[in-house]
Structure 1
Amino acid sequence: MQQLMVRLLGRNYWHYLGFAAVAMLVTLLLPVQSVEFDRSLIASGQWWRLISGNLAHTNSYHMWLNLAGLMVLASLHGDHFSKKWLVGLFIGLALATGMGLFVFAPNTERYVGLSGMLHGLFVIGAVADCRKGWKSGYLLLLGVAIKVGYEQTFGASPELEALIHARVATESHLIGALSGALAALLWWWLHRHNRDQHQTAN
Structure 2
Amino acid sequence: MDLSYQRELVEGGQWWRLLSGQLVHNNSAHLFSNIVALILCRVLFLAVLSERAFVVSILLCSLITGGLIYFLLQHYDYYLGVSAALYGVLVAGSLHLIVGRHYWGGVLLLVVMAKLLRDYFYPAVLVSVSDRIGVPVAVEAHFIGVLAGVLLAVGQCIVILIRPATLPPK
Normalising by the residue count of structure 1, what TM-score does the alignment of the two structures yield? 0.75
Task: Give the Å deviation of 1:180.
Answer: 0.4
Partner secondary structure for residue 158 of structure 1:
helix
Aligned counterpart, 2:66: 98
Partner secondary structure for residue 163 of structure 2:
helix
- Aligned partners of 1:192 and 1:127: how far apart in 2? 16
Aligned counterpart, 1:86: 54
- C-alpha contact 2:42 2:54 (8 A) present in aligned 1: no
Alpha-carbon RMSD across the aligned residues, in angstroms, is 1.8
Aligned counterpart, 1:123: 91
1:132 matches 2:100? yes
- Aligned partners of 1:128 and 1:99: how far apart in 2? 23
- Aligned partners of 1:37 and 1:100: how far apart in 2? 12
Match for 1:132: what amino acid?
G
Task: Give the Å deviation of 1:81.
Answer: 2.3
Task: Give the Å deviation of 1:127.
Answer: 0.8
- Aligned partners of 1:170 and 1:56: how far apart in 2? 18
Matches within 5 A, 1:27-176: 31=1, 34-155=2-123, 157-176=126-145
The size of the alignment, in residue pairs, is 165
Task: Give the Å deviation of 1:185.
Answer: 1.4
Aligned counterpart, 1:26: none
- Aligned partners of 2:50 and 2:39: how far apart in 1? 17
Task: Give the Å deviation of 1:84.
Answer: 4.4
Which runs of 5 or more residues in structure 2 are unaligned? none
Which runs of 5 or more residues in structure 1 are unaligned? 1-30
**Looking at both structures, which has the greater relative contact order when contacts are Cα pairs under 8 Å and sequence separation is at least 6?**
2
**Identity over aligned residues, as a percent?**
28
Partner secondary structure for residue 55 of structure 1:
coil
Match for 1:101: what amino acid?
I
Q: Hey, which bits of structure 1, 4+ residues long, moved more than 6 A?
A: none
Match for 2:138: what amino acid?
A
Aligned counterpart, 1:180: 149
- Aligned partners of 1:82 and 1:188: how far apart in 2? 16
- Aligned partners of 2:107 and 2:58: how far apart in 1? 24
